[in-house]
Structure 1
Amino acid sequence: MQQAVPSALDKVARRSARVGFIYNVVISVMVFMFAVASVEFWLYQQAHDQEVKDVRNALLAYRSRIELKVTQNVDLSHGLTTYISLNPDLTQDQFSRFASQLKAKSPHILNFGAARNWVISHVYPENLKSSLVGTRYHDVPEQLASVRAAYASSEPVISGPVDLLQGGTALIARQSIINQNTGLPWGVLSTVLDIDSLFSASFAEGEAYPVRVVLQEKSTAEGRFTPIFGDPSILTQSPESVAVSLPSGHWRLLGIPQDGWKSLHPHPTVWGVGLIILGFWLGGLYARLNAGRSFAQSIGRMVDDSYRFRSIFKRHDAVMMLLDAKSGEILDANDSAQRFYGYDHATLTAMSISEINTQVDSTLKQSLSQARQREKNCFIFEHRLKNGESRQVEVHSSPITVGNARLLFSVIHDVSERLEVERKLMLNAKIFEQSSEGVLITDAQGAIVAVNGGFSAITGYQEQDVVGAMPSILNSGRHDAHFFAEMWQQIHQEGHWKGEIWNRRKDGIVYPQLLSISVVKDDAGDVVNYIGVFSDITQLKDSEKKLIDLAHNDSLTGLPNRLLLTSRIRQAMNRQTVQRNQLALMFLDLDQFKFVNDSHGHTVGDELLKLVSQRLEGLLEEGDTLARLGGDEFVILRVIHADDNACIRLSEDVIHAMNRLFMLKGGIDAQIGVSIGIAQYPENTASTDDLLTFADSAMYHAKKSGRNTYAFYNDALTVEANHKLRLAVELRQCVQNEELELYYQPQVDLVTGDIIGVEALLRWHHPERGLLSPFHFIDVAEERSIIHDITQWVVETGCQQLKVWQDTGLNVSMAVNISPRNLADVAFTQVVFEALDRTGADPRFLELEITENTLIENQANALKVLEQLRDKGVGIAIDDFGTGYSSMAYLKRYPISKLKIDRHFIKDIQSQSPDEQEVAIVSAMIAMADSLGMGVVAEGIETLHQQAILHELGCTFGQGFLYRRPIPAVEMSELLGLDPEGECGA
């Protein structure tokens, strides 16, 4: 009976094993076929994707060369159009000389033809004159459309292939020509390009991956692409396509591999490897079949032989338990289980598995049910020990029957450490693969063993492209052997290296990396691997370059700024110290630019500055530097070799270029000039800063000399600059030191002789030079912006004196001179209003004198300021009238109450036989003022004869030495009939 039990168990075990084995074999073969087919398709897709990528890369390379060659040839012809536009009446010989130079620069240009007013008038080579000159494009309908398109466009128009009038076909690039003297169309230039030569040269430089290509252009009339060059037969083979950017029209380049697209075909290696794997798998199944039989038989024998089973069960090192298959109660546990869980045998066998297993009851019941139904089971559970610690365990359970009882025999292994290691490995694998940084791992000999997805994304190389290769395939060629020697020396000494390096992508593009290399060693200290981690820092480098450009270049014109100019001056000085040449620094300041800027706005002003920089760049030679310091100030730095007149010629060229009319957007024409100051190294100075300062001083001297001219720096300018500097320091203290005083000159009624007003004239009691008039210091005050403090003092003091006279009942007007800088200051009106408010003077008797040029130079701000003063009651007088524009337009535009005729006109009518022309001019000024309702004051009257003539001409008031020279306030008060206490005299 005891022998029958194992015999029955053996039969059941063998039968179950056979059925399972056959089932597994069938499933394995099906999985094998599916897997191999999937791999085959995946390999085909990868190969096809790579083919498409290679073809596209080749097309992009071809496209770049086509665009470059066409653009180069069109740019050459653009030079000829510019030449014609500047010389609209050029002869055939002039045309041929210039065209021959351009044709010599390109092997692809067949000939040039210029058509004036739709008729071909100039050709090169000249052997085509007989067949082309005189031809009207209206008589050539096949070319008329492209000629019309060129006339209507400011960009080149390309058409082709075109049947040429002289025979053959070619590509023609046409550009319109505008007569720069009249601004009207002159005609069109046709540049005939050899199609075969041009495109064959583009495709001759073959790529690493050979392709067949065809170039197409989209016809405007038919709306479809037509072949221009290449192999049209590829159009039926699903070619790859890239757009080609050529002037006018729509172009595209199509291509396929040289031998056509690869088809799907079996890979013997895949099938061979698959069959080997299948063989091993089936062998494993067969081994498991035998193992299953042995396991079932051993269980039967253990059940049959209770003593032997108990002996093995109790003393085995593995943790073992017998459980009730349904309830999960622990029926038995061996010594290893007691040691592992921390319970004695009695306590452990009184427990249920649910008290150890941390799974919820429903999940645990499902696991017990699964274990009962399957012959072999493997679970991963979390078990809780007596001390409260939880451990991850791997449970192998098999159902057995003892008598009528259904039991579960479980073998338990503690796998906590193994699972933790696996978790860390999985985490590291995810980090490795999903990192955006590129990771490259090599063996000890430097061969690549693994790369991550970040590596492929950055470099373009897939893992299969580089595994087994050396990292040198990424070498850009920018670093020499010394660089790599130092890098590897640091790696060997310190175990790591970090720095910037230039590498090359798969498509050939060189880019910057931030690379870190670390060494991995085993327990014995031997090198096992090298790990390189890198990131693409192209954007960072671009940002750094932009920051450098912003720091060294003008944002509007793109020219070097003061910082970069200073650096280049210093470099040039260092070079010329060795080469013994001279440097010339030319400081340019635009004349009348402020007028354009104020009249039309900053947008127009910015456009004008860009055009100015373009014209100046056209005058430069190799080695010159053109910089913009800000506003309307430019600097040219040039090396002078042996020609002492080079600076003069360049200055004259600059003046001529700036005097030419600037045509701005919106139909605005601008006429400006330029004042140039020139300083030289080492003749004037060996200092970079002084060279700029001296050139600036020379420029101011040029402005004083009448503007639109140039001046060289000399020692006299240094003396003048030092004098101005000292004078500016003293001027800043003159108000605080109470060195200023107002003198007053009366203004009289030419009929009655009564004093009707005074003009306040500034005087400076200089501690060393004595009494100074504004002639000696006002320019410095304006240049150094000291004029604002001085004007505030003058207005305040004048209003105080005016109030004193008004308090005595004497109402005379007081005229105060105002600088152009004051009128440009938006806060100036506030200065006047506060002075009137503090002193209490009546604003109706305060009159501010400004010059004509002040109005013209400050149009943007003048009207607003003058209207605010008028609204306050303050009068406005035009001083030195007749020396500026004397325009009726601005006299009507601004709120002006009085005109003061300049003394130069009065001087010319002082003789007994006055100049009739001068008398007529003065008479016209008086008549103009009367017609506008303005008062007139004649300045500089010195004789009774002048007074009589002015009275005859209708002049109302006068001022000059005939009546009184400027005198202090005390003397002026006595002249007005006031006693020293300010009371009116008898």
Structure 2
Amino acid sequence: MQQAVPSALDKVARRSARVGFVYNVLISIMVFAFSVVSVEFWLYQQAHDQEVKEVQRALLAYRSRIELKVTQNLDLSHGLATYISLNPDLDQEDFSQFAGQLQDKTPYILNFGAARNWVISHVYPNTLETSVLGTHYHDIPEQLESVRAAYGSRQPVISGPVELIQGGTALIARQSIVNQNTGLPWGVLSTVLDIDGLFSASFKQGENYPVRAVLQEKRESDQVFTTVYGDTSVLSQSPETVTVNLPSGDWRLLGVPQSGWKGLHPHPTVWVVGTIILLFWLGGLYGRYNAGRSFAQSIGRVVDDSYRFRSIFKRHDAVMMLLDAKTGDILDANDSAQQFYGYDHAALTSMQISDINTQTDSVLRESLSQAQQRAKNCFIFSHRLKSGEVRQVEVHSSPITIGHAKLLFSVIHDVSERLEVERKLMLNAKIFEQSSEGVLITDATGRIVTVNGGFSAITGYQEEEVLGATPAILNSGRHDKSFFAEMWQQITEHGRWKGEIWNRRKDGVVYPQLLSISVVRDEADNVVNYIGVFSDITKLKDSEKKLIDLAHYDALTELPNRLLLTSRVRQAMNRQSVQRNQIALMFLDLDQFKFVNDSHGHAVGDELLKLVSERLHGLLEEGDTLARLGGDEFVILRLVHTDNTACIRLSEDVIHAMNRLFVLDGGIDAQIGVSIGIAHYPDDTSSTEELLTFADSAMYHAKKSGRNTYAFYDDALTINANHKLRLAVELRQCVQNNELALYYQPQVDLVTGQIIGVEALLRWHHPERGLLSPIHFIEVAEERSIIHDITRWVVETGCQQLKAWHDAGAPISMAVNISPRNLADVTFVQVVAEALDKTGADPRFLELEITENTLIENQANALRVLEQLREKGVGIAIDDFGTGYSSMAYLKRYPISKLKIDRHFIKDIQSQSPDEEEVAIVSAMIAMADSLGIGVVAEGIETLHQQAILHELGCTFGQGYLYRRPAPAADIGELLGVEND
């Protein structure tokens, strides 16, 4: 009995073990069945998603071909509509000829029909005339609705399939036609398209994944879609859909795989792997049941087998990743991902997606959150590879849940090349439309197929006005046939042409273009298009003309300048050398113009120059040239014969014209003269430059001869010019060579006879010609602007001597002559100031002598310069008073301290019976100076009788040979009773 209990217990234990074993086996089988079914369903879902993508990809390809083919045929139809709108009175023959050319370009257009005022008036092919021509659309109710829609729209209206009058079904594209001459509706054009031919070619089974498709359309949003073409059985098989962009209404494509959607079917690999896992699991249970063997080892083998199951994921060609949806950690990546990013599996799984994605953290977090909320997601990101290269990728991400973990399963495609192509296409389209340059594209026959906004802005033509036309509508008529023949020859030979061309805008205005034409060829080297790019260069041409005018014409008088004159002289010389005629060049310089300009201002001076040019222009003959060289210098170029008669007559006419009173604005009257120099070609010279130089020399000779006259050039003037040139060279060296010297002539008190001052007189110790007074060289020094260096030396040397005499106890004054050119020198005051500072001379004892004419000719600068000198304490003396204007006005206006009566007046009172008129003049000068508080010095006193008369007239001081001839400083020092260093 005692033995039976353990046996029973053992049986119970064995039974319990068997029950537990059976229970575990049943549970394992149920888990096995559920797991295998779940994997099967997951694989089915993956396969179905792939099928959907392939169907979508095929439908997109079908859509592209449909849109392209329909658009191409509509473009041809639009070309015919444009042709009719421009030729509203065309006959059937013209219609057939143009329509036939268009039908030859495509196999899908069956026929054309144009209805004028609702009645079919033109058809093509002509075989339809008997069955269709003359039909009123009101008699065809099934087509009336689409005809009305076309009338009311500027866009094409597509309807179909339509039962044709002539039999059969087709797709009909209709568009309205507007009479371009009147702007009123003309009618409607119907283009009959071959449905089978058009769509069968679009639905060709050449895709990698064959698809059955159907095309549907609905007119209004509240209507239902109707089938236009395709297999209607598709509609009952849960088809995928894409929209199609076609005119008039909504269009869509629906499709399913060629053999239908694949259903759920068993995968042997899954069952085999699952069975193996189950067997291992059962084996584990059995081992535990029998001997309690290691359960962990069995589980390890099961896990190892599950990883082998993941080989599908690991070995797929697409880049795949498994991400933690919350943190962005990369949990797993397949082999393709490792190859693409350049990291091994361990490196990738230790990274976060932010280590690869270049987006900011905030944008990336938003993308991860968005991916968790939607079943399917597609993003475009920039991912950085291990090499540092950044690639554009398209990420398809779906959320999945394993256990309690929320993961993202991502499939990644490299789309860098595709996006770059799209970017370039968008950029090209944007450049084409927004370019300020005009762009037009024609087909191979030269018919315009498209233009951009720049074309319309420049030409005035809108796109619809020129489509189907040729660029000849822009022809200005300025270019002959040879121009276009040469242009097309270059296009044919080189594939391009660039140049300037004149074209006409819509408003009739002719304008210049910079045009480039390029040829577009296909793979077979056939011409497909011509592209013309042009810009309006009207402003550039205007600027070029202005620059040419500025370079060749005087801005004030609009006369030719020196550059253009030289060119015309050279041309005339070349022409006259053949005709054996002479050329006369007349150099004109206005007399007293500077006085008018300084007295009344530059505006009055400019007005006077314009009037002078007008008077001179009135004296010209055909072929003459009048030019302005600058300032008051003009030149006349004239063709003459063998004598000087013509030049003399013209010179006298010019002098007479200039001597007539000029009446200027503001009631100002101006009286001027003119000095004329004349040189001839070829008698005087054969050089253009010398001809102008010789005429200039002759003009200066005329001025020296008394002004207001003319002079012909001769060899003596050249000799004189050469002499001046040599003298100028020597003058430039005389200061450096210490060849200049100052001589001094005393000025005495006529009452006491005491020396009160000296006048410093310039002398030149010429190495060949001996001692020269200024009369021999001062003119050249002024003409060549050497006078400034000489004046600087004179003033400094005079101040140095003045300081020496003062230091020696002789407090006399010193007068220094200055040139009129010095008053026009902006640095002259500084020269005087530096000489005084350098020598230490007292400025109160320094007088600067200027002539009356200097004040008159330099009024603009004289007053300013003289006032600055007076502020420094320097005195101003008027030399040769009485030989100029002797005006009390300028004596009051300018800071003058002393007058010097010219020696010519003193000479005439030297006899025992002096000229009473001359005495009266001298007396008046002295009285005028005395009334103004100005001292007087009489020059050229040679006799005691002259001294006595001047003393009686009230003259204070005198200077002349009576007292002493000009002498070196040493001699004057002895006269003053001082020792000389």
Q: Same fold (TM over 0.5)?
A: yes
Provide the C-alpha distance between the structure 1 equivalents of 2:466 and 2:898, rounded to a whole number of angstroms. Answer: 91
One-letter code of the match for 1:292? L
SS at match of 2:921: helix
Q: Deviations over 1:596-632 (max 9, x none)?
A: 2222322332333233323333333332222222222
Q: Within 1, Cα distance between the matches of 2:698 and 2:867?
A: 38
Equivalents in 1 of 2:930, 2:321: separation in Å?
130
C-alpha distance in structure 2 between counterparts of 1:261 and 1:616, whole Å: 57
Q: Please give the alpha-carbon distance, in whole angstroms, between the structure 2 residues aligned to 1:443 and 1:47.
A: 20
**SS in structure 1 opposite 2:639?**
strand
Distance 1:848-1:286 versus aligned 2 partners, 3 A rule = closer
Could you tell me how far apart the structure 2 residues matched to 1:883 and 1:702 are?
21
Structure 1 position 365, deviation (Å): 8.0
**Is residue 746 of structure 1 aligned with residue 742 of structure 2?**
no
* Match of residue 542 from structure 1: 542
Residue 176 (structure 1) aligns with: none
Aligned partner of 2:746: which letter?
Answer: P
**Relative to structure 1, is the Cα distance of residues 876 and 363 closer, same or farther in structure 2, using a 3 angstrom cutoff?**
closer
Q: Find the counterpart in structure 1 of residue 58 from structure 2.
A: none
Aligned partner of 1:809 in structure 2 is 809
Q: Counterpart of 1:466?
A: 466
Within the alignment, does 1:708 sit opposite 2:708 as a pair? yes
Under a length normalisation based on structure 2, what TM-score does the superposition of the two structures give? 0.62
Query: How far does residue 691 in structure 1 lie from its aligned partner after superposition?
Result: 1.2
Give 1:730 shift. Answer: 0.6
What letter is aligned with 2:236?
Answer: R
2:444 equivalent to 1:444? yes
CA change 1:503–1:286 in 2 (3 A) is closer
> Match for residue 967 of structure 1?
967
Unpaired stretches in structure 2, ≥5 consecutive residues: 1-73, 87-178, 199-214, 219-225, 240-254, 272-308, 323-331, 335-352, 354-363, 398-411
Matches within 5 A, 1:513-528: 513-528=513-528
- Give the deviation of 1:432 after TM superposition: 2.3
- Alignment of 1:291 with 2:234, yes or no, is yes
**Which amino acid in structure 1 is aligned with residue 760 of structure 2?**
A
Correspondence 1:33-72 to 2 at 5 A: none
Q: Deviations over 1:930-949 (max 9, x none)?
A: 22222222222222322232
Q: For residue 897 of structure 1, what is the aligned residue in structure 2?
A: 897
Q: CA deviation at 1:784?
A: 0.9
How far apart are residue 447 of structure 1 and its match?
Answer: 3.2
For 1:269, the equivalent position in structure 2 comes to 189
Alignment map for 1:950-961 (pairs within 5 Å)? 950-961=950-961
| Mapped contact 2:392–2:414 kept (Cα < 8 A) | no
How has the CA–CA distance of structure 1 residues 830 and 436 changed in structure 2, closer, same or farther, with 3 Å as cutoff?
Answer: closer
Query: What's the RMSD between the two structures over aligned residues?
Result: 4.5
Query: 1:676–1:702: 8 Å Cα contact kept in structure 2?
Result: yes
- Match in the other structure for 2:790: 790
**For the Cα contact (< 8 Å) 2:393–2:413, is it kept in 1?**
no
User: How far apart are residue 426 of structure 1 and its match?
Assistant: 4.6
Question: Match of 2:780, as an amino acid?
Answer: V
Contact 2:573 2:583 (8 Å CA) reproduced: yes
Aligned to 2:494: 494
> Deviations along 1:451-474, whole A, 9 cap, x unmatched?
222222222233333333333333
Deviations 1:490-514 (A, max 9, x none): 3333332323333232333222222
Report the Cα offset of residue 657 of structure 1.
Answer: 2.7
| CA shift for structure 1 position 593 | 2.1
Kindly indicate whether the alpha-carbon contact (under 8 Å) linking 2:318 and 2:413 is maintained by their aligned counterparts in 1. Answer: no
TM superposition shift of 1:809: 0.9
How far apart, in 1, do the equivalents of 2:544 and 2:461 lie? Answer: 28
Q: 1:47 to 1:909 in 2, by over 3 A?
A: farther
CA distance in structure 1 between the aligned counterparts of 2:719 and 2:641, rounded to whole angstroms = 29
Cα 1:415–1:833 shift into 2, 3 Å: closer
Report the Cα offset of residue 766 of structure 1.
Answer: 0.8
Question: Is 1:626 paired with 2:626?
Answer: yes
Output one character per residue of 1:399-455: Cα deviation in whole Å (capped at 9) or x when no partner.
xxxxxxxxxxxxx99999888766654543333223222222233333333322222
Change (3 A) 1:720 1:384: closer
How far has the Cα of 1:641 moved from its partner? Answer: 4.5
- Residues 800 and 841 in structure 1, CA contact (< 8 A), matched pair in contact too: yes
Instruction: Label 1:344 to 1:771 Cα distance change in 2 as closer, same or farther (>3 A).
Output: closer
2:620 is paired with a residue whose SS is: coil
- How far the C-alpha of 1:782 sits from its partner, in A, is 1.0
Q: Is the 8 Å Cα contact of residues 502 and 513 (structure 2) preserved in structure 1?
A: yes
Determine the structure 2 residue equivalent to 1:976. 976
> Match of 1:845?
845
Bigger radius of gyration, 1 or 2?
2
1:905-938 alpha-carbon deviations (Å, 9 max, x no partner): 1111222222221222222222222222222222
**Residue of structure 2 equivalent to 1:665:** 665
Contact 1:393 1:416 in 2 (8 A): no
Q: 1:779 corresponds to which residue?
A: 779
Q: Which amino acid aligns with 1:864?
A: R
Show the counterpart of 1:928: 928
Tell me, in whole angstroms, the C-alpha distance in 1 between the residues paired with 2:439 and 2:552. Answer: 37
- CA distance in 2 between counterparts of 1:855 and 1:602 reads 18
User: Deviation string for 1:795-829 (max 9, x for gaps)?
Assistant: 11112222222112112222211111112223222
User: Does structure 1 conserve the Cα–Cα contact (< 8 Å) formed by 2:808 and 2:979?
Assistant: no
- Give the drift of 1:717: 1.0
CA separation in 1, counterparts of 2:415 and 2:834? 92
Structure 1 residues 750 and 848 mapped into 2: Cα distance closer, same or farther (>3 Å)? same
- Per the TM alignment, residue 488 of structure 1 is displaced from its structure 2 partner at its CA by 3.2
Go from structure 1 to structure 2 and tell me whether the alpha carbon gap of 1:902 and 1:504 turns closer, same or farther (over 3 Å shift): same
Contact 1:764 1:773 in 2 (8 A): yes
Shift of 1:737: 0.8
CA distances 1:528-575 after superposition (whole Å, capped 9, x unpaired): 222222222222222222222222222223222221221121112112
Q: Distance in 1 between matches of 2:415 and 2:927?
A: 116
Separation in structure 2 between the aligned mates of residue 761 and residue 301 of structure 1, nearest angstrom: 126
Q: Is the 8 A contact 1:394 1:414 kept in 2?
A: no
Secondary structure of 1:523's counterpart equals coil
Q: Which moved more, 1:951-960 or 1:461-470?
A: 461-470
For 1:143-198, what per-residue CA distance to the aligned partner results, in whole angstroms no more than 9, with x for missing partners?
xxxxxxxxxxxxxxxxxxxxxxxxxxxxxxxxxxxxxxxxxxxxxxxxxxxxxxxx
| Partner AA of 2:492 in structure 1 | H
Task: Name the structure 1 match of 2:836.
Answer: 836
Deviation at 1:518, TM superposition (A): 2.0
Question: Relative to 1, partners in 2 of residues 1:603 and 1:348: Cα closer, same or farther, differing over 3 Å?
Answer: closer
User: What is the letter of the counterpart of residue 471 of structure 1?
Assistant: P
- 2:189 is paired with a residue whose SS is helix
Contact preservation (8 Å) 1:758, 1:812: yes
Which deviations, in whole Å up to 9, do the C-alpha atoms of 1:219-248 show, x marking residues without a partner?
xxxxxxxxxxxxxxxxxxxxxxxxxxxxxx
C-alpha distance in 2, partners of 1:805/1:391?
A: 101
TM-score when normalising by structure 1: 0.62
Q: In the TM superposition, what whole-angstrom CA distance separates every residue of 1:871-921 from its partner, at most 9, and x where no partner exists?
A: 333222211111111111211222222221111111112222222212222
Cα deviation code 1:387-409 (max 9, x no counterpart): 999876999xxxxxxxxxxxxxx
Q: Secondary structure at the match of 1:268?
A: strand
Given the superposition, is the C-alpha separation of residues 485 and 390 from structure 1 closer, same or farther in structure 2, using an over 3 Å criterion? closer
Secondary structure class of the residue paired with 1:267? strand
State the secondary structure of the residue aligned to 1:626. Answer: strand
Task: Write the distance in 1 (CA, Å) between the matches of 2:191 and 2:396.
Answer: 36
Report the Cα distance in structure 1 between the residues aligned to 2:855 and 2:914, rounded to whole angstroms.
Answer: 31
Residues 843-896 of structure 1: CA deviation (Å, up to 9, x unaligned): 222222111111111122222222232333322221111111111121122222
Change (3 A) 1:288 1:812: same
Match for residue 880 of structure 2? Answer: 880
- Separation of aligned partners in 2, 1:736 and 1:640: 49
Aligned equivalents of 2:831 and 2:615: distance in 1?
Answer: 43
Contact 1:394 1:415 (C-alpha < 8 Å) held by counterparts: no
CA separation of 1:335 and 1:711: change in aligned 2, threshold 3 A: same
The answer on whether the counterparts of 2:319 and 2:413 sit within 8 Å (CA) in structure 1 is no
What's the CA shift string for 1:711-749, capped at 9, x where partnerless? Answer: 222211111111111111111111111111111222223
The structural deviation recorded for 1:661 is 3.0
Identity %: 74
Secondary structure in structure 1 of the residue aligned to 2:436 = coil
In 2, distance between residues paired with 1:545 and 1:827? 41
Q: Secondary structure at the match of 1:765?
A: strand
Alpha-carbon distance in structure 2 between the residues aligned to 1:839 and 1:303: 118
